[in-house]
Amino acid sequence: MSGLATCDVCPRHCHLAPGALGACRARRNVDGAVVPEAYGRVTSLALDPVEKKPLARFHPGSYLLSVGGYGCNLACPFCQNHQISQAGEKDVAWRELSPEGLVALAEDARRRDPRVIGIAHTYNEPLVAWEYVADAARLARERGLVTVLVSNGCAELGVIDELAPLLDAANIDLKGFSPAFYEACGGAQGSLDAVRATVERLAAEPGCHLEVTTLVVPGKNDAEDEVDAIARWLAILPGDVVYHVTRYFPHWRMADVPATPVATVRRLADVARRHLAHVYVGNC
């Protein structure tokens, strides 16, 4: 088909007819090129404690201006932000906010409260419009502000190579350690490999502090062997990777599945501590 274009941002590699949107609902084929239609389209802004990202060992006690848009390249049935992550431009209210405007807001917040140290790209999946993250990060660094990425990490390595030198910290949501679980989360073939490559690349980036989170879902990824394998892998990466084991609560398409028992989360954290020095529990 004339004008067909292939998106190269994530393993899904959407083949898009002219005018078509990708599965993430954030990128579109315009005149034979895939462009980030969601660039600068902001649905959410808030001042958050850095610990909420969660970042346990990156400037504790500080605050970040958190910004989110719409769209995601996964469809986790337990998503806590499905109202925006699973939305397109016509499904949710958004406003244009340029990178310059975003950085100006962060600077203003810092003037009012010196505990504000930068910007976190979060809430939906920031990598579906990674160009916005990159452009804002360059400006933020010029103004002495940090950039934090909170992401599922499911992107091609070329995208991560572009972003890694611009990031001061990242928390990557590692859903599990099996391709089957990523498939259950709406991932394309190769999604787990892509996330592992992202984690490895960010761990090797000298200027990027890295933390990793696994949301423990009952009966899905709560086996001790799985968490043990994750922790053993993280332990051999460069740097001192911080790991969060977090409790699931019923949401979206899993509203009828009870929350993870606290005892399960704490037990799995102890499993991870066999290999890692810094393991935290969340939502307990």
- What's the number of domains the chain is made of? 1
Residue 10 lies in a domain: no
Residue 212 lies in a domain: yes
Residue 17 lies in a domain: no
Angstrom distance (rounded) from CA 250 to CA 239: 34
Q: Tens-digit pLDDT profile for the chain (284 aa)?
A: 578 999 999 999 999 999 999 999 999 999 999 999 999 999 999 999 999 999 999 999 999 999 999 999 999 999 999 999 999 999 999 999 999 999 999 999 999 999 999 999 999 999 999 999 999 999 999 999 999 999 999 999 999 999 999 999 999 999 999 999 999 999 999 999 999 999 999 999 999 999 999 999 999 999 999 999 999 999 999 999 999 999 999 999 999 999 999 999 999 999 999 999 999 999 99
- Within 13 Å and on the Cβ side, how many CA atoms surround 112? 10
Residue 24 lies in a domain: no
Query: What SS3 string covers 14-44?
Result: CEECCCCECCCCCEEEECCEEEECCCCEECE
DSSP state of 22: P
Residue 205 lies in a domain: yes
Residue 4 lies in a domain: no
Residue 13 lies in a domain: no
Hey, which residues does 196 pair with through a beta bridge? none
Residue 2 lies in a domain: no
CATH number at residue 60: 3.20.20.70
Q: DSSP letters of 49-80?
A: EGGGTT-SSSSTT-EEEEEE-S--S---TT-T
Give the residue numbers spanning the domain of 68.
39-282
Q: How far is CA 47 from CA 52, 57, 81, 85, 255, in A?
A: 10, 18, 17, 20, 28
By the 10 Å C-beta count (0-12 exposed, 13-18 middle, 19+ buried), 206 is classed as exposed
DSSP state of 21: B
